[in-house]
Structure 1
């Protein structure tokens, strides 16, 4: 190692020699210091799309942050909504080396957006970029809204319960809307959305939900293009509990009903099904779901088109009734039916005794499966909640994305964003 100070010169050396030695020593010291210095590291360069200053950007345009010579460490998306509210809930996904971040969902129409992104180079030095822009506002009469959801938030439901979302306007871009609706479950399940008409989307798993778990639904619809010029204008989130597994089987030939709970038989009942004298009086075979619960309920065949002056017309009020289709089928009390367990004498419903129907009413949840066998009239997938009439493969292939969604993993198949 070269000393910072020269040694005293040996005796007999002249002044010139000493000067040369000193100069050589000083020069050597400078070269050694330069050799030990590390080259400087470039700062990370951060870019954001949409660019700063943009106006009337499509709400379904993805927010993309990229970093050159660095790794993205933080992205914040703040949306100032027209109602004066602020939304800072946007999430995004990184690529493997964190050099790119893409927003998971779409932006609110008619909002002022501020994107702040930070990246670090290999020395840990930070660089920041900010982009401020606005999104295209919605047009009156072209605003997609949720009309209804067939689930009460935080309710407890049966293992067959579908998620049913009805919209107020037709949806043409079904794949993008599907991709914006995320279903998350505590226990693994594969599922998908199917469409029944252009206004109803239904999520169902390949198999029944596993019992005793929480399911969350995030409808990230604000900014999704339902069709040309029609934007979703709201996000909505809710959750529900899947309760115990209760599955009812009814054998038309045996006039017998069995209730299993968590794989164990808990009750058996004598019943009477449709007499099949006409097709409308034939109970449908297939997997039904409990759809609604009623007490002191009016039952009449005028719902099947029978005039009150006709000889076959009837009207009765029953203590307990549970709907299982939209074609007039209920499990209900008819205590004065003498043929329970003996013959099928109803107009299509499943008749039970008053005591049995009360037990069943009190012990059932919305979305409990009811499997009926033995008749020659098949339940249609479009009849009530007959969604389990489709096989798992048919259900997945009928989705707009054509892919199954693993509800135990974040994200959805496809993308809600506009294809660039």
Structure 2
């Protein structure tokens, strides 16, 4: 992989506010649905956590529930002023997750009610106090924005600074939630550094899917005495299907929309000294006009400053699809770029006007393999390889699904 092979090695597009399991606790009532906790037969037993009188509780604390001989019907959490806190029970019934991080240095009262098959109920109450504001925090980000429409390969990307160490990833991953409508299975997978974790389904999202994401990491212990800086969340939509396929052998890009080829574009890829990366990438950023400046990182005599139109970022290292009027004569014939996918001005504008952030781009046949993590790369792995990056065991039924990469 060539550093800043074509474009600038600019800062990443801003990540905002974040994503865990396939179902997301969200703001709502404290009532527990009929599908909630159903326990084995026997006398009704119920216990809750945190323990009564416990102090210094993390702001991410959940109301733990252990029930047998019945089912939980209600969980209620109130602050010291009696104000109700919204939340939702986890699918496995193990705990109730507040809809947002709790307030530092405050006392809360939780009340949990369960009922047995004869209608006899039991209620347990606990009072606890949260910790003071954490002194050391882990910065977080979510590359998903409210009310935006994304391409079918848009991964959910949650970012951590500093990265999360392996021993701490499972606890963090349990606080990342995704809901998809229509429902589609998916899994999380960490990059080696722990600075990012991706969520994707086995195959591209269905067009029209609605996504609701929550990274419930505000006040969550993240290791090394650090705590997540804040909860992050977004609701977004997946648009139509548009897939770009680039073949170095033919020097062509095939654009497939809703299963039909709509245009074939001549391209010029990276010259032998600056090969383009082969692999499946995702459009991460779009700029109608920008400046590529490689003077700081290029070898002496090879840097340049160039005005660019219709740039679509594919990698963090600086590979883009963009307008290249200077290489039109080479497009479709030979590779002359610094690693980018060069197209003509008219084709660049046409493509720029059609694409969405999250549209997939697959390049094949070049002399360089895409490095995992150089961009949003979860689709460059097979599904079976992707799920190996989860910090929590992925059910066999999900791990063995047919995937797309």
Structure 1 length-normalised TM: 0.73
> Is residue 142–residue 232 contact of structure 2 (8 Å, CA) maintained in 1?
no
Instruction: Pick one of 235, 238, 243 that aligns with 2:231.
Output: 235
Conserved 8 A contact 2:188-2:387:
yes
Is it true that 1:91 corresponds to 2:88 in the alignment? Answer: yes
Which residue of structure 2 aligns with residue 113 of structure 1? 108
Whether the aligned pair in 2 keeps the contact of 1:192 and 1:405 (CA below 8 Å) is: no
Equivalent residues of 2:323, 2:344 under 8 A apart? yes
Does 2:171 match 1:176?
yes
- Superposed, which structure 2 residues align to 1:86-165 within 5 Å? 88-93=85-90, 102-104=95-97, 108=102, 110-120=105-115, 124=119, 128-141=123-136, 143-146=137-140, 148-165=141-158
How far did 1:87 drift? 6.3
Q: How is 1:274-289 mapped onto 2 (pairs within 5 angstroms)?
A: 274-276=270-272, 278=273, 281-289=274-282
Secondary structure of the residue aligned to 1:269 is strand
Output the CA distance in 2 between the equivalents of 1:282 and 1:129.
64
Task: Provide the residue aligned with 2:77 in structure 1.
Answer: 77
Partners of 1:167 and 1:199 within 8 A in 2: yes
Specify the alignment match of 1:331 in structure 2.
321
CA contact 1:60–1:223 (8 Å) conserved in 2: yes
The answer to which of 318-327 and 252-261 deviates more is: 318-327
Q: Which has the higher helix share?
A: 1
**Cα 1:101–1:391, aligned 2, differ >3 Å: closer, same or farther?**
closer
CA RMSD between the two structures: 3.2
1:224-248 Cα shifts (integer Å, max 9, x gaps) = 3211543335322211111111110
> For each residue in 1:115-143, what CA deviation from the matched residue of structure 2 results, as whole angstroms up to 9, or x when unmatched?
123345666565544322213334312x3
Contact 1:195 1:399 in 2 (8 A): no
CA gap 1:178/1:374 in 2 versus in 1, 3 angstroms: same
Q: 1:208 to 1:404 in 2, by over 3 A?
A: farther
- 1:91 aligns to what SS in structure 2? strand
Deviation, 1:393, is: 1.3
The answer on 1:220 being equivalent to 2:220 is: no
C-alpha change, 1:250 and 1:132, in structure 2 (3 Å) is same
Kept in 1: contact 2:60–2:216 (CA 8 A): no
Could you give the per-residue CA deviations for residues 19-72 of structure 1, whole angstroms, max 9, x where no partner exists? xxxxxxxxxxxxxxxxxxxxxxxx977654334333334566653456688654
User: Residues of 1 paired with 2:225 and 2:47: CA distance?
Assistant: 29
CA distance in 2, matches of 1:395, 1:45: 41
After superposition, give the CA deviation of every residue in 1:73-126 in whole Å (9 maximum; x if it has no partner).
32212246xxx996612322588xxxx863246973533211123345666565
Conserved? CA contact 1:257–1:270, under 8 Å: yes
Structure 1: segments with no counterpart, 5+ residues? 1-42, 408-420
Q: Which has the higher contact order (CA 8 A, sep 6+)?
A: 2
Unpaired runs of 5+ residues, structure 2, are 1-42, 399-405
SS in 2 for 1:176: helix
Residue in 2 that maps onto 1:291: 284
| Larger Rg over CA atoms | 1
Contact 2:278 2:369 in 1 (8 A): yes
With normalisation by structure 2, the TM-score equals: 0.76
Q: Contact 1:192–1:205 (CA<8 Å) still a contact in 2?
A: no
Counterpart for residue 295 of structure 2: 302
Q: CA deviation at 1:392?
A: 1.2
